[in-house]
Chain A
């Protein structure tokens, strides 16, 4: 690799990027061929146009979470989940598997349930993010949450917020879900204590009432 190629001096290669040495960073094979880098901070030339480059150091970011704007300076490698939990004290979404396998980190992005552990914070900017914390209004539980309470659908409770958000999204889509809707809709969340029986009862109660 041609480490001395002045074209490879990267604009965003700042000292606060502690995780990787500048020399390592420059060893990106092939970029010198594909990307004639140009001067000018925080941008590279690509196909004749300037494309902004973020990171690897901290980048100012802005989020809309539960209708409120939140700001933080984060590296691109920070996930939405870690941003919610560590920056904004929104700890309802839990980190359990951190690999899109268990559903404990379920939040809504643009009203669709996703695993916050597998979304980069940087790409969740300027999208409507909804977390479990938003369901309670004026100190009153959402009917779905009330049904969880009445049907004893939580034990240790660590999976519960993820389940609540998954159920909320299911009921938004199907106010009177069929067993098949429930089978599909709740397949992405796991519980260890064994609260599925209570969740099933809660959903049965809500699917009759409509939520």
Chain B
């Protein structure tokens, strides 16, 4: 059996080093082609007429004027009369025209009559008595739960408790599976009690989504020596990908579709387009070179992706492009659910956590949503938790980098930090003291806490709350812990060795700018002992072996494992061909520095090219797969720990918060490329600062519209809002041998909590909700009069 295991430290030439990203040159020179940049011959420009109301029924649509316009090639009614629309900005009619101005004119010429219906766009605390018991679940409810990334365990509990309104078909189950349902959910659905009569039950805006009790929380809380109560929360924010969502579809012939799409999920797109287009998935060719951000919002073809194909068909198969405008991108193409909670948490005088009680609520738009995993990281022995999901008309939620975790971190770590303050304990000591209930990662956290405290200069900077104040400028520090799974997804790759020594590698994966291309090449080059630029890597196309979607920090584990297995198999096949020439057994051979030779005998070797010439006339192609139990060991793993600390400066006269420094200490098992891994952490800290200080999807109560669907009032942190950032990756013994674990999500979890805690440390009171804007900070300071 070949040895697929990751090489140990002294046998790695590239893995774990700081390697420069291979896709940088095309990006810095403007040559990288994104879907938005693809200009197909004869391409038509699509535009979408969007509903201006948050909740409405389509009464009538008149597209005749648009259809008569010169240059308009197709008009597609997406939502027909009588359709109910549940959020402003939802698509109603799409058109395609010879150029963009003409398409805009056509949209303006369409008349739609709506009947306005009452809407709710608030996610404020549910009024007393408004909450309805959850009833039997419709298949739409299940879709919504999955869209909202509600943990599978919670979905199973609901199904078992309430049953369903109809028996799911096998096709439906398959689609649930592709949306993230695990086998437990599918089995629960198969076995659920069916209550067809409940299908017509009117739905409240407020549903009790979770109620859990662990241990004896009442007794534990009564016996707790110190109890802290507080209100915490994070609003709905958007993904705000700089490259908006969009697709270009064309029909090379009547049965085959070619789609360029901005996606995190190249291999998964055909399967999702096949059914609505009524063609086999194998007839759908998807291609993407680069993607301008996804952050969890680009896994599906989207309705607009489907209708580019439908419009193209109407327009004799010509390419039709729809890229969302910025306002639509922010209104309809993804949002992170909000989460708020009243939390009560109790400890012994020595800081030992004993009891947790929370009443939480939040919205993921029409789907409501589930309870974030609280208390987060710390398994407090006695808990009572209730969560109310608010179904409203703000538009649908999508997975947002580390779904549910940033919310859980704020609700938990801020509550614990307030408790530490009440105990007069330094949070490093307090969190450190409770690490026993973070099993199995207590040792990781302990080591990381120490490193982070050193890098932050925590001992010099921390002070009891609101002390060390002079004048209106005050500083504070805060911390947070986080975790994430990150096991590698399914990935296949084909590696071909050619007799001339060239190597190519093909995967249907995608590089979100995380370093995926670079890491694949590192693994292949390290294994084959050739330079990275000797390997021709192709990704982003459905003609290549499929790889999973890039979500949940699953890509690196998947593609590195499949690449490693393919490269090892190819190498061993080559060894078998070369061994007779070198008068050695295949298992005596190694390939390093562009040569294939006998281990320990530098005289018996061939150049890579000479070695490959021994393949004969035909190239050899091997398929690498992850997971692959026939080719152990498991090269990927799950479950990381990270600690972050923030230092802030607050102007107590203006309420303006500036982050002064952040430290991220992060474990992700075996690091493939230290440089791009660190960049993931830097990026996550920056995104975290942005959502902690600035980001919020602002909805108008009267009109139900998003008020800040632009980049002037949907503020993203700028260059100057970012302070000194320190990133420390945990590597070496204890980490490397765990295998490869994903890194996209974990470092973006903690910034909100760490920054909020730093502000509380600085100003002496908790600002309950993110973002930490001047109005909220001043309100927390009690609107201190006087400048």
State whether A86 touches B99 (Cβ < 8 A).
Answer: yes
Once bound together, how far apart are the Cα atoms of A193 and B243, in whole Å?
Answer: 11
Asked if B732 CB lies within 8 Å of chain A CBs, one says no
Closest to B26 in A: A157
| B675-716 interface with A by 8 A CB criterion | 675-676, 678-679, 682-687, 690, 710-712, 716
Min CB distance A179 to B, Å, is: 10
| A172-200 interface with B by 8 A CB criterion | 182-183, 186-187, 189-200
A155-B513, A156-B290 are contacts. A194–B684 as well, Cβ < 8 Å? yes
State whether B29 touches A136 (Cβ < 8 A).
Answer: yes
Asked if B514 CB lies within 8 Å of chain A CBs, one says yes
A18-B70, A157-B23, A157-B513 are contacts. A96–B711 as well, Cβ < 8 Å? yes
Once bound together, how far apart are the Cα atoms of A193 and B719, in whole Å?
Answer: 12
Residues of B with C-beta under 8 A to A52: none
State whether A95 touches B36 (Cβ < 8 A).
Answer: yes
Encode contact with B along A152-184: 1 for CB under 8 Å, 0 otherwise: 111111111100100000000000000000110
State whether A133 touches B29 (Cβ < 8 A).
Answer: yes
Residues of A with C-beta under 8 A to B676: 152
Residues of B with C-beta under 8 A to A183: 719-720
A131-B30, A132-B29 are contacts. A98–B722 as well, Cβ < 8 Å? no
Encode contact with A along B177-195: 1 for CB under 8 Å, 0 otherwise: 0000000000000000000
- Count of B residues near A, CB < 8 Å? 63
A77-B101, A89-B39 are contacts. A152–B675 as well, Cβ < 8 Å? yes
Closest to A90 in B: B30
| A118-159 interface with B by 8 A CB criterion | 131-133, 135-136, 141, 145, 148-150, 152-159
State whether B292 touches A157 (Cβ < 8 A).
Answer: yes
Asked if A16 CB lies within 8 Å of chain B CBs, one says yes
Residues of B with C-beta under 8 A to A89: 39
Once bound together, how far apart are the Cα atoms of A82 and B104, in whole Å?
Answer: 14
State whether A155 touches B242 (Cβ < 8 A).
Answer: no
Residues of A with C-beta under 8 A to B682: 194-195, 197-198
Spot the interface stretch: A2-10, A33-41, A42-50, A99-107: A99-107
Residues of B with C-beta under 8 A to A92: 29-31
Asked if A78 CB lies within 8 Å of chain B CBs, one says yes
Asked if A97 CB lies within 8 Å of chain B CBs, one says yes
Residues of A with C-beta under 8 A to B71: 18
State whether B28 touches A155 (Cβ < 8 A).
Answer: no
Asked if A13 CB lies within 8 Å of chain B CBs, one says no
A86-B99, A145-B25, A160-B27 are contacts. A18–B686 as well, Cβ < 8 Å? no
State whether B24 touches A149 (Cβ < 8 A).
Answer: yes
State whether B719 touches A98 (Cβ < 8 A).
Answer: no
Residues of A with C-beta under 8 A to B678: 152
Closest to B65 in A: A21
State whether B101 touches A156 (Cβ < 8 A).
Answer: no
Once bound together, how far apart are the Cα atoms of A1 and B712, in whole Å?
Answer: 39
Closest to B325 in A: A98
Residues of A with C-beta under 8 A to B719: 182-183, 186-187, 189, 191, 196, 199-200
Once bound together, how far apart are the Cα atoms of A199 and B33, in whole Å?
Answer: 21
Residues of B with C-beta under 8 A to A195: 679, 682-683, 686
Once bound together, how far apart are the Cα atoms of A206 and B34, in whole Å?
Answer: 28
Selected contact of A192 from candidates B29, B240, B290, B325, CB within 8 Å: B240
State whether A149 touches B25 (Cβ < 8 A).
Answer: yes
A157-B513, A158-B293 are contacts. A152–B21 as well, Cβ < 8 Å? yes
Min CB distance B427 to A, Å, is: 25
A91-B30, A135-B29, A187-B719 are contacts. A152–B70 as well, Cβ < 8 Å? no
Closest to A184 in B: B720
Residues of A with C-beta under 8 A to B39: 85-86, 89, 91
State whether A94 touches B687 (Cβ < 8 A).
Answer: no
State whether B20 touches A190 (Cβ < 8 A).
Answer: no
State whether A152 touches B679 (Cβ < 8 A).
Answer: yes
State whether A197 touches B725 (Cβ < 8 A).
Answer: yes
Selected contact of A97 from candidates B23, B105, B684, B710, CB within 8 Å: B710
Residues of B with C-beta under 8 A to A141: 25, 28-29
Asked if A20 CB lies within 8 Å of chain B CBs, one says yes
Once bound together, how far apart are the Cα atoms of A174 and B325, in whole Å?
Answer: 35
Q: Which of A133, A157, A189 has the most B CB atoms < 10 Å from its CB?
A: A157
Asked if A62 CB lies within 8 Å of chain B CBs, one says no
Residues of B with C-beta under 8 A to A77: 101
Min CB distance A18 to B, Å, is: 5
Selected contact of A190 from candidates B21, B27, B718, CB within 8 Å: B718
State whether B70 touches A102 (Cβ < 8 A).
Answer: no
Once bound together, how far apart are the Cα atoms of A88 and B785, in whole Å?
Answer: 58
Once bound together, how far apart are the Cα atoms of A85 and B45, in whole Å?
Answer: 13
State whether B686 touches A164 (Cβ < 8 A).
Answer: no
State whether B241 touches A194 (Cβ < 8 A).
Answer: no
A18-B69, A156-B242 are contacts. A99–B326 as well, Cβ < 8 Å? yes
Residues of A with C-beta under 8 A to B326: 96-99
Once bound together, how far apart are the Cα atoms of A18 and B514, in whole Å?
Answer: 45
Once bound together, how far apart are the Cα atoms of A159 and B30, in whole Å?
Answer: 10
Asked if B198 CB lies within 8 Å of chain A CBs, one says no
State whether B34 touches A99 (Cβ < 8 A).
Answer: no
Residues of A with C-beta under 8 A to B240: 192
Selected contact of A75 from candidates B20, B69, B101, B244, CB within 8 Å: B101
State whether A102 touches B28 (Cβ < 8 A).
Answer: no
Residues of A with C-beta under 8 A to B36: 91, 94-95
Closest to A147 in B: B28
State whether B99 touches A152 (Cβ < 8 A).
Answer: no
Instruction: List 15 other contacts, CB 8 Å, given A152-B678, A158-B34.
Output: A19-B102, A19-B104, A94-B292, A96-B326, A99-B326, A101-B711, A102-B711, A149-B25, A152-B20, A155-B514, A158-B293, A161-B27, A187-B720, A194-B683, A194-B684
Residues of A that sit less than 8 Å from B by CB? 16, 18-20, 75, 77-78, 82, 85-86, 89-99, 101-102, 104, 131-133, 135-136, 141, 145, 148-150, 152-161, 164, 182-183, 186-187, 189-200
Contact sample, A vs B, 18 pairs, CB 8 Å cutoff: A91-B30, A91-B39, A94-B36, A97-B710, A133-B30, A145-B29, A149-B25, A149-B28, A154-B23, A158-B34, A158-B243, A187-B720, A192-B242, A192-B687, A194-B684, A194-B687, A197-B679, A197-B682
